[in-house]
Amino acid sequence: MADKSIVGRTGKPFKMPIEWSKVREFARAIKDPNPLYLDPEAAKKELGGIPVPVTFLQTSAFWTDESSSPGFGGFDLRRILHGEQEFELLKPIFVGDVLTGVSKIADVMEKEGGRGGKMTLLVSETEYTNQRGEKVAIARSTLIETGQAVKA
């Protein structure tokens, strides 16, 4: 059921303020004790602000809801696997920035799979702009819907 008609569909823009406590918590969760995430003075001196980890935009989950999702048109979320994830980091993101994200369905493809039978691949893209209107990042996610529930 690769429904191509949903390609290009977008969600409502969402705001994502970049907060230091969230950055610290995330850095700790990925076992990265780098002082640039933990020591604002050191970070400002070296980079001009407190940076965010490479995969930090995953925390957009805290700022999105159903209206900001482009909608997964009939995808069965119980059979979904996260296949790939990509971040294009175009400009620095610092604590204090307020990003605006817009998610869209970039592609839908069908593929013969292994363990789970026929698979449908869905590529979604979220583009992030900062408070100065600069495009700072694109997060690209490939979800796989398997033909049947995948066992371990």
Nearer to another protein, 73 or 92 (CB): 92
The mark string for 33-62 relative to another protein (x by CB under 8 A, - otherwise) is -x-xx--------xx---x-xxx--xxxxx
The mark string for 71-100 relative to another protein (x by CB under 8 A, - otherwise) is ----------xxxxxxxxxx-x--------
Written as six digits, the tokens of 42 are: 């050191």
Query: E strand or H helix at 105, and its extent?
Result: strand 98-112
**Total residues at interface with another protein (CB under 8 A):** 36
What is the distance between the alpha carbons of residues 123 and 135, in angstroms, rounded to a whole number?
20
In whole angstroms, how far apart are CA 17 and each of 53, 106, 116? 15, 25, 39
Window 99-138: residues binding another protein (CB under 8 A)? none
What does 51-104 look like in DSSP terms, one character per residue?
Answer: B--TTGGGGGGGT--GGGS---TT--GGGEEEEEEEEEE-S--BTT-EEEEEEE
Q: Does 66 help bind another protein (rule: CB under 8 A)?
A: no
CB of 140 to another protein, least distance (A): 8
Nearer to another protein, 50 or 108 (CB): 50
User: Interface residues with another protein (CB under 8 A)?
Assistant: 22, 25-26, 28-32, 34, 36-37, 46-47, 51, 53-55, 58-62, 81-90, 92, 149, 151-152
